[in-house]
Chain A
Amino acid sequence: MLSTYDLCIIGAGPAGMSAAVQAQKLGLSILLLDRQPSLGGQIFRGIEQTEVRPLGKEYAQGQQLAQAVRAGIAAKGIDYLPQSTVWGLQLGQPRQLGHIYVSWQGQSQLFFAKQIILATGAYERPVPIPGSTIPGVMGVGACDGLLKSAGLKPQGSVIVYGNGPLLIQSLQHLLSLQVQVKAVVFTGSLFNLIKAIPYTPAMLLRPQYFAAKSLMTLQVLCKGIPVYLQPQQAKIIAQTNSLTLQLQTKSGEKNLNADHIFLHEGVIPDTQATRLLQCEHEWQPTARYWQVKTNSFGQTNIPGILVAGDAAGILGGEAAKLRGHLAVLWAAWKLNKINSKNLEAQSLSLKSKLLTCKAGQHLLDKVFAPQIKAILPPDASLVCRCEEITAGQLRQQIQSGCQSSDGLKAQTRAGMGPCQGRMCSLPVLEILSAALGIEPDQLNLPKIQMPLFPLPAHELIDLPAADPL
């Protein structure tokens, strides 16, 4: 292990893995950090647990990438720390090196890097309907992740609730494993299908991808599972042996029972690290999330800080690989490993491929646009799961004059628990925006401070003094 690296990559999903492989080819010294026990991130979760699984061609492609990273690690070209948590990032003296504070195996240490690629990915948008904290209620992505990483499927019956491409993919996985899906509740808008028509030519750019997705949707529809559209209200109630999803629909109240309820409203970029570094961000009005502003290579407005993959806006796994590669080219150019001619030449084909991914994502964003009604929690919802603050409590504070996320945090403690606002900051923003009648781009997410993840105090006390070499 070194103390100073040319490049530190945070996150070993498709973007991080692709970046590591490409950086090794360019002869950079690389530190690859990841919180998971094995390579793959979320899309390729569990990709190294060799048994071939019926998770589709797209998933299997991750195997090649993981093997290439492993080869790099074996050749000592990549220093990889699995199960390591980056809890601090700073730019500082000497020589404007990136300071990376990492907790690994019960100890914290400080690494330095000339360039940092944040490939921290995305996570599921929290769906705080009343009762969503009851055990047995989980994210759709969590259920899919469990299938990928441990080969586990839900036992008993299942209700899938929400909106988004991942919801359909996960449904297909569940059906192919003969899981009893009792009902599907779709909170998106069918009207969006019409609004998305102008974007459909994008399907021609990635015909295989969209053919597979459409087929998937048809397969799900053909199974004859009851589908409920756009409930006015939803609520989960715990029964002795099962869960009840109570829906208020136009035709009255409907009670659905199942052993598991999986919720999903799309995925959102992890902006915790870029907000800590005070990079510039922008609001995405259709997909409804904040994302970091970057140039076409992933360079943020702060020199030395690059973002690749879904952490810089949701574009999917295929695009993440391209974005990892592009970020490395920029970093290598900054480190004088390639000249500007090479930078242009090598990035050209990557950028054009990325454009097709973007066109496809525009279409998906339109079709699966989250509906305000579905993501705006009713008063009874627990919005901050850690500090247990309801939407009603937040609205009360707003009525008494609180007009910012940071203000609500100070007044109610929403966002001060161990997850540090990852689960509540977006719903809080939506509540605030709806209550004040202004768009979220006029509001800010709460400020982020170190540590990015809770850590034992002794790790801070024992933090060894380190000198960059």
Chain B
Amino acid sequence: MFSPAFNASQPESALVEIFFEGESLRVPAHFTVAAAVLTKTHVCRCSAISESLRGPWCLMGICYDCLMEINNEPNQQTCLRLVEPGMTIKRQAIPSVTKASSDPASSLRPSLETPCLTQDCEDKPC
């Protein structure tokens, strides 16, 4: 995860409130969604083929590994989108990691033990 590098304190008015997996986050207005998410976790989605966990890689719009759901729209490149007040951000098709999986990456980190919040993958393995 990432944390502020400089002590420049932001005035409360310069912060934007967004919701990452339902949790309120207050971040500076010049943050991209990916930057905001990286202060909480490395994981932003499940890969499309093997369903292994992925996080942002290039942070410059090239790799498409940082795709997430923004305001219910899937496949948004979070490293190119600035945060906006009230934005809701969800990880994309994260499996319920509690299920025993042969994929070693799915037992990656404690922060991943968040159950899947995407509605449409509740009933089928994602």
Chain A residues with CB under 8 Å of chain B are 35-38, 42, 46, 49, 51, 53-54, 83, 123-124, 133-139, 141-142, 145-147, 149-156, 177, 237-238, 240-241, 259, 385-388, 417-419, 422-423, 454
* Minimum Cβ distance to chain B for residue A110 (Å): 21
- Measured in the bound complex, the distance between the Cα atoms of B104 and A237 in whole Å is 9
Report the contact-size class of chain B (Cβ under 8 Å from the partner): 35 or more
User: Does B52 belong to the interface (CB within 8 Å)?
Assistant: yes
Which 9 residue pairs across A and B have the least CB separation, nearest first? A135-B55, A135-B42, A153-B5, A152-B2, A150-B35, A418-B64, A142-B59, A388-B49, A155-B3
CB distance from A180 to the nearest CB of B (A): 13
Judge whether B1 is part of the interface by a CB distance below 8 angstroms: yes
Check A83/B6 contact, CB under 8 A, given A149-B35, A240-B109. no
Using A142-B56, A422-B62 as known contacts, say yes or no to A155 and B2 having CB atoms under 8 A apart: yes
Give the dominant DSSP class at A's interface: loop
Q: Which residues of B contact A385 (CB under 8 A)?
A: 47, 57, 63, 65
> B103's closest neighbor in chain A, by CB?
A238
Extra contacts besides A151-B6, A156-B1, A237-B104 (6): CB < 8 Å: A134-B105, A142-B59, A146-B2, A155-B3, A238-B105, A386-B48
B36-74: CB near A (< 8 Å → 1, else 0) gives: 001101111001111011111111111111010000000
Q: List 18 A-B contacts (CB under 8 A).
A: A53-B6, A83-B81, A134-B108, A138-B55, A142-B59, A150-B2, A150-B32, A151-B5, A152-B3, A152-B5, A238-B105, A238-B109, A241-B110, A385-B65, A386-B48, A388-B48, A419-B64, A422-B63
How far does the alpha carbon of A435 sit from the alpha carbon of B71 in the complex, in Å? 46
Query: Is the CB–CB distance between B58 and A141 below 8 Å?
Result: yes
Over the window 97-111 of chain B, the binary record of Cβ atoms lying under 8 Å from chain A Cβ atoms (1 yes, 0 no) is 000000011011110
Interface residues of B, Cβ cutoff 8 Å to A: 1-6, 8, 28, 30-32, 35, 38-39, 41-44, 47-50, 52-65, 67, 75, 80-82, 104-105, 107-110
| Contact indicator A123/B60 (Cβ below 8 Å) | yes
Q: Say yes or no: B80 contacts A83, CB within 8 Å.
A: yes
What is the total of A-B residue contacts with beta carbons within 8 Å?
A: 140
Which B residues are in CB contact (< 8 Å) with A147?
Answer: 5
Inter-subunit contact B52/A133 (CB<8 Å) = yes
